[in-house]
A = this chain, B = another copy of it.
């Protein structure tokens, strides 16, 4: 069984943040050969993609690819539209303006295409329904619906090679994600979660992603290696 698992390939969506790095470490530790995919969709900064490359290398992924996608032309999110400010006054109820329409559907679709080309039957995504309960495409029912779609969408599925969509962090708190990743040896100093990190990868400390991350380290009782500008 272990031998069989050791030969399996997986596509892992990797943003460069804390969650997807932990997800990659879990996939690696389960014995998957990991092909990491980042999507450059017009995020406000490139530090995230640099971090993704660093994390993939540090965790021993087989390869790391970046797909460029100019959905920024549609606007509609603080992460892709320079006209919408990233909120820095603390977390509010509801779906924040940093929500990117259909982002996870788009990234999973790209992962699905690559998985089929690689002959991989597993996709890993670091979505989390606890801290980001406002994001519709981070919930278990979304993940199940995508897996169902994936198994109707491809030539591979037609030939009986069913795909499994893994979302191992979906029910974990940020603190538990950090505990997990620390136990797996991740250096979280390599990751960038901030929505508006500077060119050197330093975090603002004020956006929602920074607040959730900082609180996670505090609650976990794990030293926070993040370099903050504030």
Contacts and interface: CB of A to CB of B under 8 A. Distances in A.
A153 B104 contact: yes
Contacts of A109: 102, 105-106, 108-109
Of the listed residues A116, A150, A155, A157, the one surrounded by the most CB atoms of chain B closer than 10 A to its CB is A155
A1 interface: no
Interface stretch (A54-62, A137-145, A216-224): A137-145
A159 B169 CA distance: 26
A71 B105 contact: no
B106 A113 contact: yes
A164 interface: no
A153 B149 contact: no
A100 B110 CA distance: 11
A99 B137 contact: no
With most chain B CB atoms within 10 A of its CB, the pick from A68, A70, A108, A136 is: A136
A227 interface: no
Contacts of A105: 109, 112-113, 149-150, 153
Contacts of A146: 149
A113 B117 contact: no
Nearest to A146: B149
Copies of this polypeptide in the complex? 2
Counting chain B CB atoms within 10 Å of each CB, which of A75, A104, A141, A153 scores highest? A153
A136 B157 contact: yes
A interface bracket (residues with beta carbon within 8 Å of B): 35 or more
Interface in A58-98: 65, 67-71, 73-76, 95
A113 B102 CA distance: 5
Contact of A71 (B75, B110, B137): B110
A23 to B, nearest CB: 20
A3 interface: no
A137 B113 contact: no
Contact of A68 (B70, B106, B113): B70
Given A95-B158, A106-B113, A149 B152 contact: no
B116 A112 contact: no
Given A67-B70, A102-B112, A117 B75 contact: yes
Nearest to A117: B76
A168 interface: no
